Amino acid sequence: MKLLVLQHIACEHPGSLGRLLRSDGITWDAVELDEGGKIPPLEGYDMLWVMGGPMDVWDVDQHPWLIEEKRAIRRFVRDLDRPFLGFCLGHQLLADALGGTCGPQQPPEIGVLEVTLSDHGRADPLFDGMPHTLKALQWHGVRVAEPPEGAIVLAGSTVCRCQAMRVGRWAYSMQYHVEVEPDTVANWAAIPNYQRALDAALGPGAAPRLEADANRAMPQFAASTERLYRNFMRIARGHPRLARQTAS
């Protein structure tokens, strides 16, 4: 099983999901796009994960590599029709790449907040066995305003209706973060753009308070992350390409 991970800043990596991948003996190729990394040919990969980052989907003048990244996402999901998982910016990039739209999130969602599954989400195998309302780390000022044609909204919050979605059978994404580790908040708060957004949303010096909130919720984060990971991998292994590998 070959996994390609697209990253947009070094501190937004698979995080706690990486531990689960390693426990399953799955290695991955990470491409740091903001540092000039180049996307390899996609045909050799079984899965594509796209992580978060401080840029916005429309920042193509400052980050022209976003154009190629969106093209790669579109090819992987539409043409190759293989398993995809996107987080935060990765969620927005999936929407944008497939013809949906993104816009400002007002108010920004930052904090340990609740996400509620839709009726579709409750029935979707990605969320099998998970609570209908869960706590999640949010840190975003952009939202998916209009999901792509044919997308199914799987979860929402009081201020952001598209917190998770599925496109086709194999592509999933979520606005919130499931890859949280004990040092995640501290690492992200060290990024100037993130710190400014955090202080604007929660008041000056908010990082220690958010870190404490995240630490209290860490057992719930870990349980939700592992269940979602196991569910996604079960879905991915049902893909014809991976099913053939397993059979052989």
Tokens of 200: 């604007």
Active-site residue among 12, 69, 109, 179?
179
CA 203/CA 120 separation, integer angstroms: 36
Active-site residue among 88, 102, 160, 162?
88
Q: Which helix (H) or strand (E) holds 214?
A: helix 207-237
Active site residue 11: no
Active-site residue among 13, 63, 91, 177?
177
Strands 28-32 and 84-87: unpaired
Helix axes of 192-202 and 207-237: crossing angle, nearest 10 degrees: 110
Rounded to 5 degrees, φ, ψ at 171 are: -105, 125
Active site residue 43: no
Task: For Cα atoms 233, 224, 3, give the angle at the middle one, nearest 5 degrees.
Answer: 30
Burial call 97-125: b when 16+ CB within 10 Å, e when fewer: bbebebeebeebbbbbbebebbeebeebe
Residue owning tokens 């899965």: 47
Active site residue 179: yes
Active-site residue set: 88, 177, 179
